[in-house]
Every structure is written in C-alpha cells, then in structure tokens.
Structure 1
Amino acid sequence: MLITRAAAVVLLTAALLTGTAADTPDGRPAPVQWRMAWSAPAEADLVNGTHGTPHYGVSQPALAMAAGQGTVRVHDARTGALVRTLSVAPTTPGNGSRDPVAGVWATSGTVVVFTDDQSRGDQRLHAYDARTGALLWRRAVTIASPRNQASDAGTYEGSPIMVTERGVVLVDQAAEPPALRTLDPRTGTPVARTARPRGCALTADATARSVVLLDHCAGNHLRLASVDPSTLRPNWTRTLPSPPRTLTDDGSPPSLHLVVSGDGYAGVSVGDVSSFYGPDGRLLSTGQEALRAAGSARDSRWSRPMRLNQGATTGGDGALWGDASRWPLPAFLVSVDAGSGRLRALPLDASSTHVSLVGTTPGMAFVLFATGRVAAYTLTYGVPGGHELFDRVPPDAWPDACGLLTAADLRPVADGYVPTPRTPTLFGERLPKPVQCDWIPPVDDAPVVSLSVDWVSSSSAVAAQIFATETARIKQTEIYDAITEDAYLLDYIRSTATGTGGAPEVLVNVGPVIVRLASASRSALRLLAPLVRDELLARYRLPRPVPTAPSNLRWTFPTDGQLRDDPVVAGGAVYAIAGGRVHAMDASSGRPLWTTVIAEFVGGPLRVTDGLVFVEGPGSFHALDARTGRRRWRHPVGPSSTFVVAKRRVILVDGETAVGLDTVSGRELWHFHSADTFSISRPVIDGATVYIDDAGGTVHALDVATGRRRWSVRTGAAKDGSHRATTAAAGKVVYVIGADRRLRALDAATGARRWNTLLGSPVAFPPVPAGDAVYAWGAAGVLYALDARTGRLRWAFAPGAVSFPAELAVDRGRVYLADGDGVLHCLDAVTGMEQWRQSVGADHVSGPIVHAGTVYAGAGGAVHALDGITGARKWRIRTGSQAPSVIAAGGLLYVSAGGDIHALRPTP
C-alpha cells in the first residue's frame, strides 16, 4: 500500500529523515563513512537545459564529462586520472557560440555522446570505446519535444535518451503514443521498438542493465515496470494502488517522480504519495515506513545512493518537507536498506548547497559542485558505533547554541535580549542540546539575531573541507567582504528569493564546529561573530587569527544590503544607498550618523545638494535632511522616472513630462511636455541649463529656474529607423550623439550647429569632453578622439569589446580606459599611441579614476592602484565585490564593494 501526505518531490529528497545502518548487533561491517578520493575541474551543468540529457556519465571504469568546445573528457573512475579527451564535434563558426555536446553517458566499455548542432539542425549519437577512444559508430537521431499531438496520445517526462549496458534506449516523444526504440551500444544498429499505451503519462529512469517505467493511464491506473533494454520486453510489471481521487479529479494526471539507484532500487512519488521498491519490483516500504526509527538489524545491505540531499523536517501532520532553515550544512548521500526498506543517510565532507549526484558505481559516488568541480567519494565500512549519521560525533559533543552568546554579548546591540532555543530533528534523531537559538530583542526596532550550529565534524580537517566548499560557493554567487574575512569567518549577504534585497549572514568555522549567524543588521553581526569565534577558539585552544586588514584601511562600514550606486561625499559625510536604506556616516571615521528606511528595495541613484539628500523610491521621490536623515518632503513619480539635481532645483523626468521642483520645499515650480516620451538616460545639467533627450532623438535645452525651452534640436535616425540621443555639456558647447552615428557640437546658448562628424560605428555611451578634445566610445569597441573645436578626428583606438559601463579618465595628457578583457590602457591624449597596458584580471572593470597621479580601478574582486605614468602596480586590495567602484574625496579613497563602504588612504 501507499501512504499519503509524504512530500512528492521530497520523496527521496527527504529521504534524509533517517538514521544509518548502525544497528548490526553481531558487529558485522557496515557502511560508516563517505570520504573524498579525488576531484577534478568540471565545466558543464548537470543536465542539458534543452533536452534534459545528462552532461556526465559514470561506469565502473570511467567517468565521462562534457568539457566544452565539442569535447568530452574521460577520467579513470577510481583514480581520477585523465585517460583521454574525445574531440566529438569541433566548434565551427556556425556552432561556436553553443557547445554541440548535449549529452554524455558511460557504460561498461563504451562512452556515448549526443550532439545537437542547432546551426545545422543536426542531431547525432556517437559511441566510443572507453579503453582506446576509438569511434565505434555514429548515427543521426531526432530528439524533439512532442508537437500537435492528440490530447489522448500520452505524455513523457524524462531524458529522451537512456544508455545502459544492454542498449541505448530512445524515447520518441513526438510519436502518438510515445514509443521506445533501442540501439545496440557497440554497433548503433536498431534492435527493438515498442509503442506505449495511449493516454498515459510516462516517466522513466535507467539502471546499468534495465529501464524502469512509471506510468499513469486512463482510468486512474498506475503501473511500475522494468524492461530489458535489449528487447524492450518487461522483466516485471507491478500494478500500484490508484492515486487518491483528489489528485485526478480535475482530469489532469498526477505529478509523477521516479528516481532509480544504479543497482535498480526505485523511489516513486505520485502526487504527495511515496514508496520504495527493490530491483525485482518488491515493495520495500512506504514513505512513512522508510522513515521509521526501527529497522531490520538482520540485513544491512544498502542500495547504491539514490539521491544527494540536505536535511528535511517532518511537519505536524507527518508530511515531509524540505528544511527552509538550510540546516544541517553538509550534503548527505541517501540509500535504501534492502532488508528493512529504511532509508539510510551518511554525510559528506561538502556543503549541501548547489551539489548534485552525478552517478554511482559499486562503493563509489560522484558529486558535482556548483563551484566547478566533480568529486569521487568512496564508501568505507566498519563496525557501527551508533553515531554515523553525525559523522561519528557523539551528540553530546555538539555545543549548546544558546551558550555561544550571552545577553551581555548582545548588550551593545540592545539591552534585554532573550534566547529562544530550537532543536530540529535530523533524520529522525533529535540532538540533546539546542543547536539553534534565536535571540529576541526587547524592542521592535532592534534586530533579531539567530545562531545555528550547522555541523560538528569528526575532525577539524573535515569541518574545514565543508567550510571551504560552502565559502567557495558563497564567493562565487553572493556578495561577501574580503577585507574583514579571516581564517575562521566570512561575512556575506545571501541573495533572497525576490532578488530585491539580501540576508546578512556570517559563517564561522573553528576546529570541528561550523556556526552560522544571521540578522537583518550586519553591524550587529560584525560585533557578535568575532565573539562567537573567540569563544570557540578558547574552547579548542586555537590561536586567534592574524589581522588581515590592509594597512591603509581607515575604516569600513557594513550596510544591510547591496550598494546600487557610488557613495556621495559632501559636507564631511558619506552618503550611500543599499537595499531600501539610506545611510550617512562620518567621512573621516566611518561613524554612523543616521539610517533612513525608504522602501524594501531602492535601485539608486543618490544625490546631495542644498543640505538635502535626494533618492527615488518606488512611486515616490524623497528629500531627506542631510544632517538628521529626517524626511523633509516627497513627490509622486512613475515607474520609469529619472532625476537630476542642481542648486535650488530638482528636475524630475517621467514619461513625456519634465518637472522642476524647489529643493527645499518640494513645491512644483514648472513643468515641460514633450511630443515624445523622454529617454531613460538621465538629464544633464550644466550651469543654468538642463538638457533632456527624448525617444524621438530630440535634445531639449531648458532653463533650470523656469523650465522655459531655450531650443530643441532633432538628431538623425539609424538605418532601421530607431532614434536615440546621448548628451554631454561643457560650458559653451553641448555634444550630442544621435542614432545616425554622428557626433554634433551645438552652441549651448542657441543650439546652432558648430560641427557634425560621422563616426565609424554606433555609439551607445555619452561623449566625454576633456580639455581640447571630446571622446566617444563606439559600440564596436573603438574609442574616437575628436578635436573639440573643429570636430576633426584626431585618432581612433580599438581595444576590442569594452567593459560596461564604458568609462575613461583623462589626466595630464593621458587617456586611461579599460577594455572588455580586463586590461587597462594608457594612451597619449594627442596621438592616441598606447603608452602602457596592464591586466587587472577580469572582464568587468569599474573606473578607472585618476587621483594624484595614480590610477585606481576595481576589477576581479579587488581595487588596483597603478602608477599613472608607467602602469606599474603600486598595490592591490581584495574586496570581494567583483568590480568595486572607487571615488576620491578629501584625501581618502572611498570604495563601494558589494554591501560595504571602505575608506582607504591612497598610500598603504
């Protein structure tokens, strides 16, 4: 029978609510531990996103993986040694933008590769001898989604290609009904074909020697079958209890999910019903039975791992649900006990975040990490000690989560914090001490602080490995602070599901213990995380970390979200916006002055003038007192508005209307309507004039004080009829680039044309006037330098693709720019000749800026300081943010990096 209320896809995901085979009273060896044997770089995702076919294939002698550029790497599965690289489908100008290798499998003695060259509409299967690399056969196939099928034809969900030792099975999804056909794995010749019944929803998975089918057919019939791949004849068929009518009352089939271990054990879920079956089709257990604490002590034969999962929790009604708290930290390999039907789990020395099970062989499992590596684990046996689920650590050895902080520790945040302990269940077992603790503040405006003991390993080395895999993933995908990072902790901001904000956290690893702290306040975490670290250091008698902060760091300020624009330095203060908060801090010391919440998320920018801070939030434009952060006034705006500020005026541009507001009162002073919608590029203010571009390619010059139009000039259209204009102003001249690739110099007073120059390529960025020249970035990666007086082209420099946003700096007769390959170039401003180049190691470069003869740029997670004359490196400071921005003010450099603002002295 089947037991309902077990979570469907968690079926096997939640397999993790179980113990280990630590119950063999006769002392016979049993699985006790997974240990990493080797690892290698990996370049492909687990499956192909178009076809759902795997990019990795595992067999007893070989691990084969898609390696990019039409190649497949074959490694010895036992040692990890690279055996050979197969050049399956070399890239060509037609297919070079997309790797044609769309599927990889390995069986005993054979590597099978599926290629999909979309540029040619060519799909093929290739088979190679795993020992010699010789091509065995190549065959054209058609793998396509069903089209225009009759409603009763049936459906299929799963990989359209399944490779076994006995046959390569193709699922013809376009047939009515879907059909199966088999090719001989050594010759590629067709050997069998069979049609499935009409009106069935089908899913399938393969073992080394069989294909397992799960289908739900008309009449609410549910069947599980194993077929011989070489003949497509059934080995056995089991009719399963019909799903509850509640799953099928709307006429659509219930969701089907099937996962099969390499040795044939099957986990089935239909809707929210789960069960487990042996290779012979025998029912081993229902979902709830698999999770019961009692198991057979007579039989500890484990299947190969079925899934690689994180922990799960049991709801009050007995259903299985994934654990939203992400506790515990390690990944677990899950098997089923052949005798009792219990699910068995053992931890890995790896974080559970973004890891996947590639495949298994007897005694080995292969795991893919999102950080770009694949690892092989071997299963070790021994006499169970009863704590294998906890990596053989006695539960009493776990620290009390509420004991790692005290109310006195939290007093600088707020007085009167109260601990609330929590003890989640781990695979059906509950630890004797609370492993999670929420510190609840006495007032609503103080932050909650959560502390979780995420894992205690059998050794410091194992804990360090888990910590390393998790921090590597964090550094690849999240915002983190490299300046405050030390050997024991990492401060970062975890992305939220909405993508509009972040969740500040700190991960701490001392000895065998890994702890995670979380709070809405990064300032609180910066204070408390070192206290937890030092408490554990004292407990395990380990040395305190050596300070790693750069010598020229003046101060650092943690915000509670991601910085969306450069900070602004004005009146002895630094202003910045992160998430939905505006922060002000003392420019010299970094001391917080005030924080004002605007909304859940604000994308920036932020401007300061007339003693006010201006920022645009969802639906409203805000003016804040620069000294106190108190809101002075607000003005409604639309979803695509932009603004610019000048003394005594704010100009808001929204749709077809520009509005001039008094900065002090917010009172509307004037408005201007355009025949076309204004462009999303920001207006430009120069002196008493504001220049606004509209979508029709017209530039309007308006009086800042009155809104009176001084002149309007329409630029030309591109060949495709599109209009676009970008503007820059410099005193008596306004420079405008139209969609027609022409750079125009207009008289600022009248709009009269001074000159008009055709550029060699379209220009996507505003022109840059500097000295007696004006510079323009071409979309093709060409920098044009024109004489500002005549418009004559002086020179052109082509570094190739440009970094975005395309910025350049001009200083003392030199032009500094960054290309799309992360290389800084220094050019002679008169001749355009390159004087030096220096790689900063990333494709996205922020800046450069020049201050006191030094060039600063943010790239590759660091700030780089280069000598402006020679390009020699002066210093480099890691920040964590991929392309930190740098501004100079008051003798300091202010670095905006992810969620942090750092103040640096120019000289370390």
Structure 2
Amino acid sequence: MVARFRLRVAVVVAAASAALVLSPATMPFAAGQVPGGTATPEESSDATPAYRADASLDSSVTCATARPPYRHLWSRDLGTMAGGPLTVGDRVFAVVNAAGPDALGPDLRLVGLDARTGKDLWPAKELNGTEANATYGGGLLYTQTMSGLLTAWNPMSGAVVWHTQLDQVNTHWWAYPPTWYKGVLYTQGGSTSVTTAVRATDGHVLWNTAMRDTGQTPVAVDAQGVWVAHDDITYQLLDPATGKERRHYNLPPYFDGGGNTPALAHGDLWLLGNIPIHLTDQVTAFDERTGSKLRSFPASSTPAFDAGHDYITYQGVLKALDAKTFATDWTYTSPVGHATVRLVANGYVYVEDADGLLLALDAANGRTAWSVRVAPAPNPNGAINEVPDWMFGYSVPGIGTAHGRLVVPVGGSLVGFGPAGDVKHAAPVRITAPPRPR
C-alpha cells in the first residue's frame, strides 16, 4: 500500500466551554479539592475509571481486590449495546444504546448504576449522536460524542457540570473516550486530525495540535508525555503542557493509519499494525526514552500487561511473555481460534473467548481459575468472528472491577459478579445473542 504523507501546521481553535458551579457537598471530594483537578482515592486504586483501565491503556488495575470464583449478583438489560463499564467504588457508569433491535438508529445514553445491586443511581442521560464514550477522573464523569461534544457530569447526581464543543471544522470523528491525566483531558479526532487538551475542572481548551496523520486513535499519557499513535505507521510524543511535538516516528511510505489502541508498559510504547503493511498482524515495542524499536511479535490485538508479563494474543493463542526476557511462560489456546484479553487484575488475566466464555486465568501459570458463559456457543459450521479490542458498534469494549466485583458487558446488558465463597463456578447468566448494530 502506497500512501501520502502530509504535515499540517494549522492550529485549530475549539469552541468556548460553559461551566456550571456545583456544591462540594454533592461531590465525592475532600474539603478544598477542586472537582476534576486531582484523582480521588477511590479512583486511584482498585478501580477501572477509563478505557483499558487507566491513562496508560495497559488494561492493568492497580491494587485490585477482585478474586475468583465469583457469583452472579445482578443483570441489567439496557438495550442492544452496553459499552465497557467504568467502575469506581460502588458505582458503575457506561454508555449504552437503549434503542430496540428494530430501531432505525441508536439511542445512546449514559447510565449510572449501584455496583452492589445494579439499580439506577439516577435517570439515564441522553447523548446525541451515533457514537459516544465515557471516562472518569478527578471525581468527575465525562462523555464525548462522535461530533465532539465533551460533557462533565456529577457522578453522584448525574447533573451536568460543564459542556465544551470540540473542533467540528477540521475534525469530524471523535471516536475514542478522552484520557484523564492529572487534571487534564487529552483527546484526538480524525479527519484532518487534531489532538486537544482540555482542563478537566471547567472545560477550557488548553491547546490544539494538528497531527501528521488523519485517522482516529485513543491517546495514551504518562510522565513522558502525550502519546498519539496511528497504528505502528506513525506516532507523535507531545508536551502535555503545550502540545508541542517532542518526537515523531513514521514508517514510510505509509499514511492514514489509526484505530488500533496504543499502550504504555514497562517503559515501552506498544503499537499494533496490520496487514497489508506487514506480512502478518503484529505488535511492536518502542523504547519510550530513546524511541528505538525493540521487538515485534505476531498479534491480533493490543497487548495487556501486569508487573511481570506482556499478554499477547494471535489467532486465538494467548502468550504470557516475561516482561524482561520476552520468554513465553505459558499459553492459552482458544478452542475456536479467537480470544482477547480484557483485563488484568489481582493476579488474574480475564479473557473473552469467541466461544462465548469469559475466563479468569491464573497469571502465574495460565490455568483456568473460573469461567462463565456470557454468550451462546458459536455454530461450528459458521463463521466465527474475531473478538475486537477497540471499536464495536457505538462504543468501546471492556470489563470493570472495583471493591472485589466484576462488571461485564454482554450484548445490551451489564452483568455484575461478586465474591462467591467456595462456589467453583458462577451461576449461569441467561444471555441471547446480541443483535448486530444497525
């Protein structure tokens, strides 16, 4: 594939935000803490406040307490699609498509549930548009629609805190949730492609930076800076304070990548690339400090990580690689040739297998510690689709955990699991095959 390469230097100005003032008494903050500015204790550990767990997009949860086996706590049928849940303390938040299977278009809503019971915390909030996502940070909940409407919500009451309309002239597809990091929301939109930093306390746009590639992508952030990657074709490292480019990498002559999720782990930037750029789908690790390319591995999805392992899947085979030597410590093989790691927490690797099972594998040896069927077994004579690890339908996938619980999206439902004592397997979850997004 021969593609173009263009450098854009125009700076795009986003629309001004409108802020509302809320009483600290109605918010989950310590005295003197500004909503949105500093991470609260309950979101800083044993929580999944973001897509792929946190700002590094590594799918690993710090200080998680959930441990199999589990029992089925509750199920909520919320429509035809439930996105990856955000779990903070005893609360669950998600973007869902509340439309019925025969609807002509989506009816996207933000829901807040009690993680203990599955009951509503507040009435669902309507979100305009055909795609939307959510994230959590600094004690506030945020949604972003495909058209770039960024909204902060009070997670306790569901009230709007502020709105900001992101650039609509040069960027037409804000496909991924923003990434909250130290009081700032970082987000990227595709088309002519812009990365934007927004102050999380009031919605004020801090900077816009034109990207070198056009696709849409999630943004990863750590102490090194803001990482914006379009597959493994190109990446840019931006200064978090100014948006100025610190480093740039490009794989000539390719252009117009995007969609695959980057991840930061063990001091490396991991980027997934696909055929026809490469002979096989593969993931490549780059040294964050030097930018040098370290290793590439066959991969069907962006890896997940914990302190000691890189978890890489390819054509249904999950390999647990030693984080220092890249030696394979153990493997898991899907019976139908497709599987994706959704979460790594408290010494367990949670795998969504295309055969309809959700499994918790022991991170030490790969043995199945617990499993539950969350979808019907596929027809062995029919096509079996790969389990996506990024966009599907109207939102992004994922599994949430906090306070010893798991929250799993299953078609249009969210299902809560909790500690099961000495029960080996969770009670069966009654699930029908979800309809295809229209």
| TM-score category of the 2 structures, normalised to the smaller one | 0.5 to 0.7
Given that residues 810 and 816 in structure 1 are in contact (C-alpha distance below 8 angstroms), is that contact kept between their aligned partners in structure 2?
yes
Higher relative contact order (CA 8 A, sep 6+): 2
Alignment correspondent of 1:786: 286
Q: Deviations over 1:767-819 (max 9, x none)?
A: 111241221111232111111222211211114xx1xxx34221122111222
Aligned: 1:890 with 2:403: yes
Q: Distance in 2 between matches of 1:571 and 1:630?
A: 16
User: How far 1:841 moved relative to its partner?
Assistant: 1.8
Which residue of the other structure, out of 170, 173, 182, is the alignment partner of 1:679? 173
In structure 2, distance between residues paired with 1:675 and 1:739 = 24
Q: Counterpart of 1:286?
A: none
| CA distance in 2 between partners of 1:741 and 1:766 (Å) | 13
Question: 1:569 and 1:600, CA in 2 relative to 1: closer, same or farther beyond 3 A?
Answer: farther
d(CA) in 2 for partners of 1:896, 1:636? 19
CA drift of 1:889 comes to 2.6
| Deviations, residues 578-632 of structure 1 (Å, cap 9, x unaligned) | 7629xxxxxxxxxxxxxxxxx9986767565xxx99xxxxxxxxxxxx9854439
> Shift of residue 824 of structure 1?
1.0
Alignment of 1:645-684 (within 5 A): 645-646=136-137, 647-648=139-140, 650=142, 652-653=144-145, 655=147, 658-661=149-152, 663=154, 665-666=159-160, 668=162, 670-682=164-176, 683-684=178-179
1:631 equivalent to 2:144? Answer no
CA distance in 2, matches of 1:569, 1:879: 19
Q: In 2, distance between residues paired with 1:895 and 1:833?
A: 31
Q: Say whether the 8 Å CA contact 1:641–1:652 is kept in structure 2.
A: yes
Residue 881 of structure 1: how far off its partner (Å)? 4.4
Cα 1:862–1:702 change in 2 (3 A) is same
Residue number in structure 2 paired with 1:813 = 308
Shift of 1:706: 4.0
Report the residue type matching 2:128 in the other structure.
V
Q: Which residue of 2 aligns with 1:696?
A: 192
In structure 2, what is the Cα distance between the partners aligned to 1:604 and 1:837?
38
Partner of 1:557 in structure 2? 74
Q: Provide closer, same or farther for how the CA distance between residues 764 and 734 of structure 1 changes in structure 2, counting only shifts above 3 A.
A: same
Instruction: Tell me if structure 2 keeps the 8 A contact 1:649–1:704.
Output: no
Query: Are residues 1:903 and 2:417 paired?
Result: yes
Residue by residue over 1:631-681, the C-alpha shift from the partner in whole angstroms, topping out at 9 and shown as x without a partner, is: 39x5773445555554446454453x5455564642655544453134232
Using the alignment, how far apart are the partners of 2:105 and 2:170 within structure 1? 30
> In the aligned structure 1, how far is the partner of 2:399 from the partner of 2:202?
36
The runs of 5 or more residues in structure 2 that have no matched partner are: 1-67, 276-280, 378-386, 388-396, 425-438
* Structure 1 spans left out of the alignment, 5+ residues: 1-550, 582-598, 614-625
Aligned 8 A contact 1:796 1:832 in 2 = no
Write the distance in 2 (CA, Å) between the matches of 1:759 and 1:673.
28
What RMSD, in angstroms, separates the aligned Cα atoms of the two structures? 3.9
Q: Does 1:841 align with 2:335?
A: yes
2-side partners of 1:855 and 1:758: how far apart?
Answer: 33
Q: Report the residue type matching 1:774 in the other structure.
A: L
SS at match of 2:171: coil
* Structure 1 CA distance for aligned equivalents of residues 153 and 80 of structure 2: 30
Secondary structure in 2 aligned to 1:901? strand
Alignment-derived partner of residue 736 in structure 1: 228
Given the superposition, is the C-alpha separation of residues 643 and 792 from structure 1 closer, same or farther in structure 2, using an over 3 Å criterion?
Answer: same
Q: How many residues align?
A: 314
**Structure 2 counterparts to residues 504-519 of structure 1, below 5 A:** none
1:863 alignment partner, one of 358, 366, 369: 358
Deviation at 1:555, TM superposition (A): 2.5
Alpha-carbon distance between aligned partners in 2 of 1:642 and 1:725, rounded to the nearest angstrom? 13
CA–CA distance in 1 between the matches of 2:94 and 2:163?
A: 28
Deviations 1:219-245 (A, max 9, x none): xxxxxxxxxxxxxxxxxxxxxxxxxxx
- Deviation for aligned residue 1:849: 2.1
Q: Over residues 695-723 of structure 1, what are the superposed CA-to-partner deviations in whole Å (9 max), with x where a residue is unaligned?
A: 21221222223444333322224xxxx55
* Cα 1:776/1:810, change in 2 over 3 Å: same
C-alpha separation in 1, matches of 2:414 and 2:165: 38
Q: 1:685 to 1:573 in 2, by over 3 A?
A: closer
Which amino acid in structure 2 is aligned with residue 789 of structure 1?
R
Corresponding residue of 1:712: 208
| Aligned with 1:566 (options 69, 84, 100) | 84
Q: Partners in 2 of 1:739 and 1:844 — Cα distance?
A: 21
Alignment partners' CA distance in 2, 1:853 and 1:782: 26
Amino acid at match of 1:862: L
Q: In 2, Cα distance between the equivalents of 1:815 and 1:603? A: 37
Inter-partner Cα distance in structure 1 for 2:416 and 2:163: 39
Residues 570, 774 of structure 1: CA spacing in aligned structure 2 closer, same or farther, 3 A cutoff? Answer: same
What do residues 429-482 of structure 1 show as CA deviations (whole Å, max 9, x unaligned)?
xxxxxxxxxxxxxxxxxxxxxxxxxxxxxxxxxxxxxxxxxxxxxxxxxxxxxx
Given residue 286 of structure 2, which amino acid in structure 1 is its aligned partner?
L
Q: Which amino acid aligns with 2:294?
A: R
Pair 1:605–1:810, CA change in 2 (3 A): farther
Q: Cα distance 1:566–1:812, how it changes in 2: closer, same or farther (>3 A)?
A: same
Shift of 1:728: 1.5
Instruction: Name the SS for the 1:871 alignment partner.
Output: coil
Spell out the pairing of 1:312-711 with structure 2 (5 A cutoff): 552-560=69-77, 562=80, 564-574=82-92, 580=98, 606=110, 629-631=121-123, 637-640=128-131, 644-646=135-137, 647-648=139-140, 650=142, 652-653=144-145, 655=147, 658-661=149-152, 663=154, 665-666=159-160, 668=162, 670-682=164-176, 683-694=178-189, 695-711=191-207
The 1:711–1:893 alpha-carbon spacing in structure 2 relative to 1, beyond 3 Å, is closer
Residues 564 and 600 from structure 1, CA distance in 2 versus in 1: closer, same or farther, beyond 3 angstroms? farther
One-letter amino acid matched to 1:830: K
Cα deviation, residue 559, structure 1: 3.6
Structure 1 pair 640–573 and aligned structure 2 pair: CA distance change class (3 A): closer
Give the aligned partner of residue 75 of structure 1.
none
Cα shift readout 1:111-130 (whole Å, capped 9, x = no counterpart): xxxxxxxxxxxxxxxxxxxx
